[in-house]
Structure 1
Amino acid sequence: MGNTLTLMLGRTTMEHCHAKQICQDRATDDRFQRCRPLILRAISEHIRSKLNLKDGPADCKFQLWSILLCSAISEHAHRKSTYEKGAANNQLYAVLITVLVSYCVHHEQINKKDIASDPFENLPEDIRCTILSKLSLKEVVRTSALSRKWKRSWTVCPKPRFDGTTIRSKSMRGKQQYIQKFISNTNAVLAQCHGTVVEELAVKIDFDSMLVEHLNNWISFAVSSWTKSLAFDLTPEKFRGRVDRYRFPFELLDIGCIYRLQQFQLSFGYIQPPMKFSGFMNLKKLDLHLVHVSGQDLEIFLSKCRNLEWLSIIRCHLSDELKVNGPLPHLLYLNVAGCEITSIAIHAAKLTHFVYDGCPVSIDLNKSSKLKTADVSIYIVALEQVFTELANVLINVENLTLDTSCKPPELPCLIDHRCKFSHLKFLKLVLFFSEDVGTLSLISFLRSAPFIEKLEMRVIG
């Protein structure tokens, strides 16, 4: 009886202890359940930080596996006293850990593959803009297929260039269809760029009268877009005999544009600045090609662009002298080629490079004491005359290229011109003689440059 009672009491005590353990396990489980969200967040953030995962729909599987992992940990924690169930839960725990880690590694590999397959995705915006500035309009638009970030990059390109020669096709019915397609394409792109800063705007198209209104609109767009560089190349394939030109609309410019513009190129245009034109104060580069402008208008225009560093005037028929009323203190490069002019007189103290191609005219660059390089091409003239024209202009020149068509002098003689080119070190001569070679003239010319270190000469008879 005593043994039975003892056994019953022992069983009762064991049941009580088991019940008490169950209550404690339930309490532990309840506390764990309340902590589960915190555990989930801690695990998720830790692994996310290790793998640099981003928030988004792609992380749903990751969150699901995290929840199942927490459930497995919970079950294993409060039932570990039972060997079989504990072993089963250990297996579940191991499986879930394996799946979670596999998923994370797979996710990371996918990210790495995405980056490797799209090397342009993470390029900085300034680099994308630089790349786009080097491409044609057709190629720029094609870049929208590279990635999501590139889809609209071309619409904020700071240097749009429109080249009409790239859309020419034999299948087009005529010139009007070609021009209309160019106008439509250009207007569509500029409409997308409206409201953005466009640093450079370049248009290349054969000039036609139906373009005038649209060219003016593109000038207005450049003004509103804070453009610093403007280039309109309108030279047609067949321009000889044509007197029509695009008249540059100075009236469309505002004060802001006049101050901002730093580079200006105009081909096959007409320039007539208004009487009160204040000039492009910060213009550094000016390129005029086949432009109709009077000598007086060009003088007014240039005299109000005091910050010019680079000036090129090609095939501009002034029928007058090319001069500037006042100094151009920053001018470094001057190119005058194929122009109908009577003389050149420019005060440019910092000029270092001078290019001239045309008939022999009076050239006054006496103030250009830093002139070191000159490329001169003069047509059908006696070598003595060439020397006379250049002797007072190229006093300090160190590098001279002279290309000329020479005729023999009326009275050949050996003239002493020693030390007229006392700084000349490199001389390249390309001489074309229509008759006999003027040997004495050539000797006189060479004697005037006694310090030459390198001489290249080509004589064509």
Structure 2
Amino acid sequence: MEFWCPLHNKHAGHIDTWLKFVLLSKTKELILHLSNSTMGYKLPFFVASGGSYLRCLQLTSVSLKLPADFNGFPNLKRLNMVDVTITNEHVECLLSKCNLLEFLEITCCGMLTTLRSLGPLNRLKHLKVQDCILVELIKMNCGLITFEYSGPIVPLQFATTSGLRTVSVNLTSDTNALDYITTGFPCTMQHLETLNLKCNQHKRAISPVRPHKFIYLRDLRLELNIFGASEDRKTDVLDYAYLLDCAPSLENLELHMWMQCDHEIYHAGRGGLRSLPLHQHTCLKSVYMTGFFGHKDQVELALYILRCSTALKAMKIDSRVKIIPGGTYAAPAIYRRRHYLDGYMVATVFVRGADRNNNIVQVSGAIQYGLARVIDGCTRFRVTWDPDF
């Protein structure tokens, strides 16, 4: 039974009647999606005391206060709470009475300061916590397979992380992604296979001398908002070359960048390109880079990956930004024209030019301006352009 409508408090009597019908019908799945216009509709006590048949419960924009004689949802397997007004104590009580729970989502619950379970949740395998701005600690007695989190860096404590296979983290506080991977929460995951990480970073990574090894990591997706003025930019994209050393089994790498820095494209007059000692990586097959504006450290990272990845089948470089808030093409047209064209030309000249005849590198991002057709038809060319164009 699904209720998806923007009701108000004056409709509370109707909602109560519907919910009574739901329970009398022994409904197994209940979706109650109201809106913030309900001003925190209070879920009636009989839902919390009579939901023995429920397998799935999804609540949006309601207020939940458990009765003193709450017996729990003995058969509940999935619980989603979005914009739910509920206290720490009631969440703990709720979880303690849901022994079969497998999936838990807590999103935009503004009253919560801690999320923890009093007893073991042996069936809980999937946890999603997003945008609970007051939460300062997550401590769960469970063994997860997937974990999704969005918010500032907070202590994350689980009974075990040996079963974690997929982790998605969107950090709203400033941190360096490489530091977080090698010394933060992910470094405790022995069998992690897929990692998605979003970060805003202003400082360069402090990479450990002996980086943690992710032996089983196969898929890595990074979304990086990189800040800094040209004269004192502290970030360095080349640092992410360490990822290949950290993850010897990595097969797919995605690096989506938004370089919110002074636009300084690379050309021969800016000095030679840096190179790191090459350590052969025998598993990496696919690389996808976006937001490639042609900065020197971006070129250096692309060339390092290209040269040390012996099994590489495809490297896709796109000068367009994919992670701008508001959509791919949210930036002004002049911003796209300048950055996208420069990035396309630099990637074509320096990265695809180093590919020789292997046809591994594919460059895109300036086709809408007609530049790709000009460059792709040339076997030898010389390009000059004004970086202030």
Bigger shift: residues 283-292 or 384-393: 384-393
- Give the distance between the partners of 1:453 and 1:356, measured in 2 at CA: 24
1:282 aligned partner: 75
1:456 equivalent to 2:249? Answer no
Alpha carbons 1:278, 1:304 under 8 Å: kept: yes
The match for 1:376 is 169
Residues 26-59 of structure 1: per-residue CA shift (max 9 Å, x gap): xxxxxxxxxxxxxxxxxxxxxxxxxxxxxxxxxx
Aligned residue for 1:365, secondary structure, equals strand
Aligned partner (choices 138, 155, 159) of residue 344 of structure 1: 138
For residue 14 of structure 1, what is the aligned residue in structure 2? none
CA distance 1:400–1:430, change in 2 (3 Å):
same
Q: Which has a greater percent of strand?
A: 2
TM-score, normalised via structure 2 length: 0.60
- How far residue 324 of structure 1 moved from its aligned partner, in angstroms, is 0.7
Residues 86 and 112, structure 2, Cα contact 8 Å, conserved in 1 = no
Shift of the 335–430 alpha-carbon distance from structure 1 to 2, 3 Å rule, reads same
| Cα distance in structure 2, aligned partners of 1:398 and 1:382 | 23
| Residue among 183, 193, 212 paired with 1:398 | 193
Separation (CA, whole Å) in 1 of partners of 2:111 and 2:14:
28
- Given that 1:366 and 1:392 are in contact with CA atoms closer than 8 Å, whether structure 2 keeps it comes out as no
Helix, strand or coil: the match of 2:160?
A: coil
In the alignment, the residues of structure 1 paired with residue 139 and residue 115 of structure 2 have an alpha-carbon distance, to the nearest angstrom, of: 6
Task: Return the letter of the residue paired with 1:347.
Answer: N
Whole-Å separation in 1 of the counterparts to 2:206 and 2:156: 25
Distance 2:190 2:155 in 1: 15
Aligned to 2:9: 209
User: In the alignment, is residue 226 of structure 1 matched against residue 19 of structure 2?
Assistant: no
Distance in 1 between residues matched to 2:163 and 2:246, nearest whole Å: 20
Per-residue deviation at 1:443?
Answer: 4.4
Q: Is the 8 A contact 2:162 2:189 kept in 1?
A: no
Q: Does structure 2 retain, via aligned residues, the 8 Å contact 1:414–1:440?
A: no
Q: Secondary structure at the match of 1:348?
A: strand
Long gaps (5+) in structure 2: 260-389
Q: What do residues 117-163 of structure 1 show as CA deviations (whole Å, max 9, x unaligned)?
A: xxxxxxxxxxxxxxxxxxxxxxxxxxxxxxxxxxxxxxxxxxxxxxx
Once residues 206 and 346 of structure 1 are traced to their aligned partners in structure 2, the CA distance between those partners, rounded to angstroms, is 34
CA contact (8 A) 2:61 2:82 kept: yes
Alpha-carbon distance in structure 1 between the residues aligned to 2:150 and 2:209:
27
Corresponding residue for 2:288? none
- Structure 1 equivalent of residue 327 of structure 2: none
Q: Give the match for residue 314 of structure 1.
A: 107
Higher relative contact order, structure no. (Cα contacts within 8 Å, ≥ 6 residues apart)? 2
Identity within the alignment, %:
27
Shift of 1:306: 1.2
- Asked if the contact 1:347–1:368 (Cα under 8 Å) also holds between the matched residues in 2, the reply is no
Maintained 8 Å contact 1:315/1:338: yes
**2:132 aligned with 1:330:** no
1:442 aligns with 2:248: no
1:284·1:310 contact (CA, 8 Å) conserved in 2?
Answer: yes
Task: State the alpha-carbon separation in 2 of the partners of residues 220 and 356 from structure 1.
Answer: 34
CA drift of 1:405 comes to 1.3
Q: Does 1:386 align with 2:180?
A: yes
- Tell me how many residue pairs correspond in the alignment: 251
1:61-460 equivalence runs, <5 A: 201-236=1-36, 244-251=39-46, 257-340=50-133, 341-349=135-143, 351-383=144-176, 386-387=180-181, 388-409=183-204, 413-435=206-228, 436=233, 437-439=235-237, 442-444=240-242, 446-460=244-258
The aligned amino acid for 1:422 is I
- Give the residue type in structure 2 aligned to 1:232: L
Normalization by structure 1: what TM-score?
0.51
User: Shift of residue 366 of structure 1?
Assistant: 4.5
Amino acid at match of 2:121: L
CA offset at residue 319 of structure 1? 4.0
Is the 8 Å Cα contact of residues 220 and 250 (structure 2) preserved in structure 1? Answer: yes
Report if the CA contact (8 A) 2:179-2:206 is conserved: no
Classify the secondary structure of the residue corresponding to 2:141. Answer: coil
Q: Deviations over 1:396-454 (max 9, x none)?
A: 21011111111205xx6442243342221111111111223334753455543233122
Q: Pick closer, same or farther for the CA change 1:417–1:335 going to 2, 3 Å.
A: farther
Letter in 2 for 1:346: M
Tell me, in whole angstroms, the C-alpha distance in 1 between the residues paired with 2:208 and 2:227. Answer: 22
**For residues 333 and 285 of structure 1, what CA distance do their matches in structure 2 show?**
9
Structure 1, unmatched stretches of 5+, are 1-200
SS of 1:221's equivalent? helix
Distance 2:79 2:210 in 1: 37
- Greater Cα shift, 282-291 or 331-340: 331-340
Determine the C-alpha separation between the residues in 2 that align with 1:216 and 1:278.
20
The alpha-carbon distance between structure 1 residues 399 and 252, as it changes in their structure 2 partners (threshold 3 A), is closer
* Alpha-carbon distance between aligned partners in 2 of 1:217 and 1:417, rounded to the nearest angstrom: 63
Q: How does 1:25-44 map to 2 (within 5 A)?
A: none
Q: Report the alpha carbon displacement of residue 204 of structure 1 after superposing the two structures with TM.
A: 0.9
Instruction: Tell me by how many angstroms 1:392 deviates.
Output: 4.2
Contact 2:192 2:214 in 1 (8 A): yes
| Deviation sequence 1:84-131 (CA, Å, 0-9, x none) | xxxxxxxxxxxxxxxxxxxxxxxxxxxxxxxxxxxxxxxxxxxxxxxx
CA distance in 1, matches of 2:12, 2:79: 22
